[in-house]
Amino acid sequence: MNKCEIIYYISSNGNNPVKDFLESISKIQKSKAFRVFMTFQKYGLSSIMPHIKKLSGTPLWELRILGGDNIRIVYFIPHKEAILVLHGFVKKSQKTPEKELSLALKRYKDYLDRTPKI
């Protein structure tokens, strides 16, 4: 099995919004999120398939931390052995809120703009 990497989006001013989000949630929620992250790191994307969903019309994916908490981590795949996590939130409705999706897309574009092209 390939070891895979989780890369955290860092804003231009050095903030790590996903890490901040994970630090703000309850201990139980945090434990669930890190369990999914550890499974991904050890076994790759296919190991977390029941927990992921493509966000239609975007290059982004949603990592669903299942349970009553409805934690969502929005990410994209820069290459096959990594995900770049962009945004985290607690989902309170059936559909991903436009505000949350817009913020994730903004961070995605910022990341691409600041990443050197090869």
Q: Where are the domains of the chain?
A: 5-114
**Max Cα-Cα span within the chain:** 43
pTM here is 0.87
- Give the CATH number of domain 5-114: 3.30.2310.20
DSSP reduced 3-state for 83: strand
Q: What is the pLDDT of residue 118?
A: 63
- Give per-residue pLDDT as tens, 50-73: 778 899 999 999 998 877 778 999
- From residue 33, give the alpha-carbon distance in Å to each of 26, 100, 109: 11, 18, 25
Closest CA to 50 of 64, 67, 69, 34: 64
